[in-house]
Amino acid sequence: MMRKKPLTGVAVNHTLSLIVASGFCMGSSDNIQAAETNSYAKQPFSAYSSQTDDALLGSSKYEKPVWNLHDTLGLPKWLSLSVNQRTRYESLSGSFTPRGTGGDQQIALQTDVWLAAKFGKFSAGTEFLDARALLADSGSKTLSNSHVDTADFIQGYVSWADQNVLYSGLGAEVKVGRQTLDFGSRRLVARNTFRNTINSFTGLNMRFLSYDKWQFNGFVTMPVIRYPQGVDTPDLINNDGNMDREDTHTLFSGGFLELPNLVWGVNTEAYLYHLDESDSNTNPTRNRRYITPGMRFYIKPAKAKFDFQAEAMGQFGTVRATTNATDKRNIEHKAWSNHFDMGYTFDVPWSPRLALEYDYASGNNSNNPNLDQRFDPLYGVRRVDFGPTGIYGAFSRSNINTPGYRINAAPRSDVQLSFAHKFLWLASSTDCWGGANCSSTSTSTTLWDTTGRSGSYAGQQLDLSARWDVNSSLNLESGWAHLFKGEFAKKAPSAPNGQDIDYFYVQSQLRF
């Protein structure tokens, strides 16, 4: 269906699924990218993104909260006010960190307040976030600013949007200031939803679209550094607040193109990200300077039909071996990652979908110290592909080789079930297990065997979750993950005991 002018009303709701849809809704809290509600899975709401309308496409893809401040306070139409509160209890038994003992627990509290005003084509918005971690202690080796970011602003911007620029039939939006970013599959750039804190950036984001044909985002930003930094510091344990600040020594920019239904019902995305990072007095870095091109092709799930998703990501440039200020030697960086899944949704009660999945992300080879091959997932999320994060987060998109399968089902329209089984190998047995930023000079939180004698098999993971959408203001969710440790997890230098790992969480989320 081709249109020569902007869409409104019902037409916008239909077009929303074509233009914005950029992923698969798998029924977990960290996968909100699909704009279309599929019959087998209903996407959960989340702070901010579930409480605002699209400036170019009109009505929100989420149902209006049954309890909402706007109506209760009788606010004018041009003013928006909403609050989202999430409470999650997490429990972890066993450890996969060096010399780790026992388990851990945490109550993650996230309170989000959103306020916006709109005047014609102009609008201004601000978002306040308070993220806290209770019950945390200094021995966990997991507490960081991914859990704690108290009393700070993650958004504060002004924007201009026109659904029909100069009567051309093209829509345009320009946003300036501190903001969150969320593109495509969300594997490289995303607004976090499961994690307790949220990435934000300060700069310029421009968006253009031709209705039913294409959409393009171009941005130039500085990442916002969350404070306090470190792991298990007194400030983090006490939930002390320090104002977040832009990293003026780092530039993150890029472009993202979406082409819905390009051919044979296949949706296409192409993107290019550029990261230019330098040290500052308060933020030592590895001086990552590289570009990350990528493409994704996918067909959305539907009853009695096959679907698929294929994404390839490359990475090229330079990086330094450590964050030490005396380390001045740049190393060539060449890395890559890919994701593939193929599924089928059965036209039977519960609409179960069975999918086979595969993820790969390159790792370093200790025999070549002049080449860095560890893939860096930038500012992406990992909940959908690799299981829960929080105080668990055993795997990220770095140095992994993970086949597996997934089953989703919906016993009722308001209940979603998900089960995933992953087999986990390291892409390189001589590189670390734990993330893109581990280095040979800092192995307190990651396992590493530079000799490769511990093998590459880390184990297998079961991931089960269930969500009940009580109504449009409240949902409840619970999940369990079990890691059967493999040879590497048991034998790597400084590895903890061979006890398997259990992670459990239960959470409530209220928006009004």
| Per-residue pLDDT tens over the stretch 476-496 | 999 999 999 999 999 999 888
Q: Residue 159 is encoded by which pair of tokens?
A: 């924007």
Are 366 and 450 in contact, with CB atoms under 8 Å apart?
yes
Residue 369 belongs to domain with CATH number? 2.40.160.100
pTM across the whole model: 0.89
Residue 367 covered by a domain: yes
| Per-residue pLDDT tens over the stretch 271-297 | 999 999 998 877 888 999 999 999 999
Residue 4 covered by a domain: no
What is the domain count for the chain? 1
Q: Which domain holds residue 221?
A: 9-511
Q: Residue 511 is encoded by which pair of tokens?
A: 């928006």
pLDDT of residue 135: 86
Mean pLDDT on 209-237: 88
pLDDT of residue 13: 36
pLDDT at 92 over 60: yes
pLDDT at 9 over 60: no
Q: Looking at 30-34, 278-282, 313-317, 365-369, which range is the least confident one?
A: 30-34
Give the model's confidence band at 84: pLDDT under 50 very low, under 70 low, under 90 confident, else very high. very high
H helices present in 368-437, as ranges: 383-386
Q: Looking at 177-181, 233-237, 306-310, 375-379, which range is the least confident one?
A: 233-237
Q: Phi first, then psi: what are they for 184, rounded to 5°?
A: 55, -130
Q: Which residues are within 8 A (CB) of 360 and not within 5 positions of it... i.e. 6 or more apart?
A: 336, 337, 338, 400, 401, 402, 427
Residue 200 CA to residue 366 CA, distance in Å, equals 34
Residue 336 CA to residue 319 CA, distance in Å, equals 15
159 CB-contact burial (10 Å; exposed 0-12 / middle 13-18 / buried 19+): buried
Give the model's confidence band at 444: pLDDT under 50 very low, under 70 low, under 90 confident, else very high. low
Nearest Cα to Cα of residue 419 among 480, 473, 464, 379: 464
Residue 2 covered by a domain: no
pLDDT of residue 44: 64
Residue 406 covered by a domain: yes
Residue 38 covered by a domain: yes
Q: For 57-199, where are the E strands, in sequence order?
A: 79-93, 103-119, 122-134, 149-162, 170-179
Find residue 82's DSSP bridge partners. 114
Find residue 371's DSSP bridge partners. 332
Residue 244 covered by a domain: yes
pLDDT at 407 over 50: yes
Residue 243 covered by a domain: yes
pLDDT of residue 21: 34
Residue 474 covered by a domain: yes
